[in-house]
Structure 1
Amino acid sequence: MESASSHRQDRVEQVNLQGLTSTYIISKRCFDFMASLIGLFLLSGVFLIIAVLIKFDDPHGKVFYSQTRLGKDGQKFQMWKFRSMVAGADKMVDELLKKNDTEGAMFKIKDDPRITRVGRVIRKYSLDELPQLYNVLRGDMSLVGPRPPLPREVINYTDYDRQRLAVIPGVTGLWQVSGRSDLGFSEMVALDIHYINRACVSEDFKILLKTIKVVIRPTGAY
């Protein structure tokens, strides 16, 4: 797998879906279904602990947070996460846009004032993403794939950028294991297209293994 730096200059690669065979697509879906089902069962205790901590830290908000995201071919779905921000955080976006720490059609703030104390910890170790196993079980998402964007982000996409919507989005992906939020939007898109064009069972397992390492020793997570 090539590093992110090898893609920073490569914005001419176009998505080619011919490599996504029916055998790969079916096997990927079967693995996603079984892995998410087992994961939800085995991690039920972790879910409970995180839920208690979130309510203890900020009792006025909900434990889970859902947000409209765009999946394959721009289809809308509700993506679930553990709430890591104060209640009403979405209403504060407009006033924080000027503090955006990344470029392009993506919004990230390194020291986001909306994040709670517990939220900062669970985001660092990507524990806030665990409820997306439910999205994987439903088929809205896969374990591995491009991250699903917000509708307001896709409005600003170029035709080149929209290519990352050609496949089912993932909980983790090449972007996350290559630097995550330390990489800019253009680098993320290039990495997503690179993944789509080379997606296979072995590549997905490589990314999943690297994800474990990134979760244990997180960098670029905010």
Structure 2
Amino acid sequence: MTVASGAIGAVIAALMSVAPASAASATTGVDAAEETKVLTELRQNLVRYGSSSDIAAFDALDTAQRDELASYFLDPEVEQRIVDAARTPRGGSTVSGTETGFQWGWSGSPDQTEQDGRASSRTTWGTQWFAFAGIKLTETKVSETYEYSGTTARRMLGYSCTVVRNVQPFTQVSTSKNSGYISGGQATATCKVVVNRGVPTPWGTIAWSTYSAVQRLSARGNGAVTFNGWQ
């Protein structure tokens, strides 16, 4: 994952630091009015794009959790720490990493049954997600369709890159095709994921950082996923 941030981040951090102490969170120093604004927008996004369980989990957050979540969106230093914690490549289908209340995890297509060695085609998929206290904030998906025979992938038929969910305020997430190929009897598809982050100011939302990473999915001909993670 690469990070690009310029002087604008320092400017915004300075703007935020001049808020009166009485208007800041006691635990994070984040401006209380901005915290309310960003969390209100997040809840509105959950109402539009999330589930009832997401909304219930959000409403159940205590004060410390709300402060921690808001600081990720409003404090560049906190954001950087969370991003750094997510940089370690991961492969698999169930385990998630954690950084305080934030979680990173993945899911994938279920095991598929071989068809007695007959040549056929199948689709395999994998997702990567980012969540806080069980509230899924962002999820991206790689799907690949390929011909196979037994456990051997023979020919790539196509692949896709999808943003399944993004409810983060002041954040744009995009994904695009990077490569799709067959090697060593496995089908592999990669997608480039770009995250543009910003911060609200009296003059509107100003971008402070761009992150990019490559999401990869590899699977054998029998549908067994051998890698589902970031590279």
Larger Rg: 2
Shorter-chain-normalised TM-score: which range?
Answer: under 0.3
TM-score by length of 1: 0.27
Where is the helix percentage greater, Structure 1 or Structure 2? 1
Larger RCO (CA under 8 A, 6+ residues apart) = 1
